[in-house]
Structure formats: structure tokens, C-alpha cells
Structure 1
Amino acid sequence: MHTRSPLQITRSVIFALVLREMRGRFGRVRLGAFWVVMEPMAHMIVLGTIMKLRTAPTQSYDFLVFLLMGVAPFLLFKNIVIKIMGSVDANKALFSYKQIQPADAFFARCIVETCVATIVFLILYMCLTWYGYDTKIEDPFSWLFVLFLGIIFSFAVGIFFALIAEAAPELRNILALIFMPLYLLSGVIYPISKLPHTIIDYLLWNPYLHIIDLIRYSTFKYYRLYPGISIEFVVNCTIVASFAACAAYRLRKRRLMSL
């Protein structure tokens, strides 16, 4: 009789959960794939139209590309956090099987959101390239590294939110609403220099502000990094959040699995 290692079992479980999430995301909702693409596209169309009417074009970069490099990563980070937060309730019945752990559900949803966001980004990126926009990424390795840090940080935050939502379900909606002000305060729409200078020192405590600006810095050749933006800050926040999320998960693991 062939005995599988714990790593092989975990890999099989996560793969099965990924397939389950994909079927639930696109197999049961009509036009599900269409709305996945339309969400960032709608953001870009509306914001791009407003900014084109209000401001003069810049010679440093195309504003739609600027928006894509802010909107697409931020929506990815937001969706990772929100989906992980709801993964416990969605998979509660499966935790009765000893092979399936809450962490498997967390990883599965993170993988699904990352894959979906990657496909959507490539579609929008190719569309802008086809229309003649300058979509060249000046430093692709740095770009990927910063994006990876944002995914890991969001994964850790998602675990925290899942633990809070499990302990206090009434806070679930409040946690989801946190990303509404973050959308405006993370430099997604405007460069950081356009944000209120009276609160900019406080805004620099927001890791997403650093991540979005570093992504754009890696994309555009003549983009100026705002003073105070630091890759070291993002790395430190990611390390601290990851260790804290692991510790909190170990403390609440049995509670998450209880029916």
C-alpha cells in the first residue's frame, strides 16, 4: 500500500480546494469571468475619464498605465484579504476531515485570487499595449519582488481578519470596509505628492502606500519615488505580519476547526 507524505497530502488538498474555489467562482455564477475583468476595467475607465477632464497629460507616463499599476495590485491585495476572511465559514464542513486544515483553505483562496488577478492584469496590459500605450516595465524583477511582498503581506492580514471574524462575526463588515478609505489613501488614484501634506507622515505608516509607489517606481523610467517610501519598511511589515499571523493561527486553530 502506497503511503503519501504529509507534503503530498497537503498539496493534493490545496489543489482540490483550488478547483472547488474556481468552480464556485465561475461555474455557478453567470458572467462570473466577465465581471472579474470588468471590475478593474470599470475603475480605470471612470477614473481615467475624470482625470483626463480635470488635469493636463504628463510626459513622464501614460495615466491609464499609471492607474493599471495601482488599481490592479490594490484590488488583488484587497480580494486576498476579503476572500481569506470568508474562507473559514465557506469550508467549515470540510474541516471535519483530518486531512483538511484551515491553512489549506487560506492558501487555496490566495492562489485562486492571485491566478485570477494575473490573467486579468495580462488582459488589460495587452489591451493598453495594443492601443499604443507605453507599457514597458523598466525593472521587472523589482516589480515582481514588490508585488510578491504585497501578496504575502495581504495573506498575513487576511489570516488576522479571518481570526477576528471568527471570534467576533459582527466585525466582519467593518473589516471589509477598511479597504474603502485605503483605496483613497494608498496612492492608487493619485501620486503620493497629491495626497494631503498635513497627514502624509501618518499615511506613510500604511504599507500599501509604499507597495503601490514602489510598483510604479519599478514600472516608469522617470518616476520619482516619494521621500519616505522604503522597500525595507515593506519587508519588515511583511516579516512581522507573517510571524504574528502564524502565532495567532496556532493559538486559534482548534477553534477554527470546531463545528
Structure 2
Amino acid sequence: MFVPTTRNRTMLDAATSTLSLIYTVTVHNLRATDRNPIIGLLMTAVRSVVMIAGFMSMYYLLGVRTSPVRGDFLVYVMSGVFLYQAHTMAVQAVAGAGGSSQAIMKHGPMTTAVVISAGALSSLYRTTFAALAILGIYYLVKPFTLEDPVGAVWMMLLAWFSGAAIGMIFLAIKPWAPQIASIGTNVYSRVQMVASGKMFLANALPGFMIHYFDWNPLFHVIDQARGYAFINYTPHHSSVTYPVYFSLAVLMIGLMAEFVTRRAESVSWAAAR
């Protein structure tokens, strides 16, 4: 009737049990928002379609009917929307991951690392499914060509990774100031609507405006992704190394801040609010 808890005897056993637990929590996150997981994935794709349609409508209202790059206009729009969603959804998923004072953390195998990893992976799964579904349907309607699809995929993963790293900062702030963390996450997502550069081409910006955007890792990632997607576009104002170093630095800061918060956090914090 009672099954004894198994202990990990080797590093391989520990890694296997941790990966299995991350997979279980990831599936739980995917099924938590909707009763039917397929409906949840379709809703993510629908949100992407709505955003793409909104940008296309805005471009047509402004009289922009052709792509700034010689290529498919809709692919140009999708290259910005998909990376923006991968980044912001990762920020929200990691920032909303459970803290160390939650009831589920009292179970032995559960750790904050498992919850954070599961939240980040669930957001990546949703955005990847939406991107593949929309690109696949569009390809059946109107075939298109990506110059370097592998490089474009790497840029999407980099956008997701940078978002997860930034989400760690908000996750560390949340136990100390939950309202500020929630507002900061929403404000950051709204700022990225413009600061990410998904609505314009980086090479077309005047020189005096570059410094308003080059601080943003997502700006570099989207510009580089368009360089991989279009054969006629070579990015001049962005690099791949900056978002990589930026994300690693922010991730280390977020991990240290989360470690300090986890040692100080207790269940009684919520009782005083």
C-alpha cells in the first residue's frame, strides 16, 4: 500500500529523476490554463494570428504595402511577432513561477529550479507550436523560402532564453514587492511592443535613433533573425553576441537574487498583507 521513496544513488539517477519531474510539471502547466491542452495550444496560435492581423492592418492603414526587405511581407511581420511572443511569454512564465513558500514546495522532490524550468519550457512549447502551425498553413497557401531556417530557429531560442533570464529578475522581486513585480512585468511587455523593433527595420533607422534601441537584446535578436530569413538583408546595427552575454549576465544576477530571496522568504510574509 505504501511505496517507499527512492533515493538517487548516482548522478545519472538524480539527473533522470529531475528531468522526469520537470517534464511532469511542464505538462501540468500546459494543462492548467485549459481543460483541453489542444485548445490551449490553439488559443496561443489564435493570439499570434490576431497580433499578425493587427500589424498587417496597421501597415495597410499607414500605406505600407510592401516589405522593407525584398521578400514576403507577411514573413517579415511574422519574424518580429513570433520572436516578440517567445520573449515576452518567457518573461511572464518565469516571473509567474511558484515561489519557495508555496505548498507544493513542501514535497521533497520539488525545487524552485524545477518550477522555473517547467515554466520556461511550457512557454517555449506554446510559442513553438504556434509558430510552426501558422508558418505551415501559410506555406501551404503561399510557398516561401527562408535563406537560413536553422539560424532563424536559433534566434527564436535566443529570444526565449533572454526572456527567461529577465523573468528571473521579476521572480526574485515578487516576494519582496509583488505589486511592483506584476506591474513591472506588464510594463516591460508593453515597452517591448516598440523597443523590440519588430515594426521597423533596424538598417532603415537614422543614426541618432540607434542608441534608443541597441540596449535591448530583443532588438538585436529580431534584426539578426531577419538577416537569416531574407537573403537580401544583412544586419549592420545588431549582433548575436550582445544578447547572449546580456542574457547570461542577467541570468546570473537573477539566480543570485532568487537564492537570497529563497533563504529569506517565509509563509508568514503573506499573512501581513
Give the TM-score taking structure 1 as reference length: 0.89
Cα-Cα RMSD: 2.5
Identify which range, 213-222 or 2-11, moves more after superposition. 2-11
* Amino acid aligned to 1:102: T
Question: Which residue identity does 2:111 align to in structure 1?
Answer: Q
Q: How is 1:170-249 mapped onto 2 (pairs within 5 angstroms)? A: 170-171=179-180, 172-193=182-203, 198-225=208-235, 227-249=236-258
Q: Is 1:146–2:171 an aligned residue pair?
A: no
Query: Whole-Å Cα distance in 1 between the matches of residues 261 and 100 of structure 2?
Result: 17
Q: CA–CA distance in 2 between the matches of 1:82 and 1:253?
A: 19
> Which residue is 1:60 aligned to?
70
In structure 2, the residue matched to 1:84 is 94
Number of residue pairs matched by the alignment: 257
Partner SS state of residue 98, structure 2: helix
Out of 13, 23, 31, the residue aligned to residue 15 of structure 1 is 23
Q: Check conservation: 2:87, 2:161, Cα contact below 8 A.
A: no
Task: Name the % identity.
Answer: 19
**Quick one: which amino acid aligns to residue 168 of structure 1?**
A
CA distance in 1, matches of 2:222, 2:262: 32
Looking at structure 1, the residues matched to 79 and 18 of structure 2 have their Cα atoms a distance apart, in angstroms, of: 34
Question: What CA distance in whole angstroms lies between the structure 2 residues aligned with 1:257 and 1:214?
Answer: 43
Kindly state the Cα deviation for residue 209 of structure 1 after the two structures are TM-superposed: 0.2
Cα distance in 2 for residues equivalent to 1:168 and 1:52: 42
Unaligned runs of 5+ in 2: 269-273
User: 1:102, 1:257 within 8 Å by CA — same for their partners in 2?
Assistant: no
1:251 maps to 2:236: no
Question: Which 4+ stretches in 1 moved above 6 angstroms?
Answer: none
> Whose radius of gyration is greater, 1 or 2?
2
Q: Distance in 2 between matches of 1:3 and 1:96?
A: 17
Q: Which moved more, 1:210-219 or 1:150-159?
A: 150-159
CA distance in 2, matches of 1:100, 1:257: 16
- Alpha carbons 1:211, 1:234 under 8 Å: kept: yes
Q: Partners in 1 of 2:125 and 2:210 — Cα distance? A: 33
Q: Is the 8 A contact 1:88 1:102 kept in 2?
A: yes
Distance of 1:130 and 1:184 partners within structure 2: 31
TM-score normalised by length of structure 2: 0.85
CA gap of 1:258–1:124, structure 2 versus 1, over 3 A, is same
Amino acid at match of 1:217: G
Residue 246 of structure 1 and its aligned partner are, at CA, apart by: 2.4
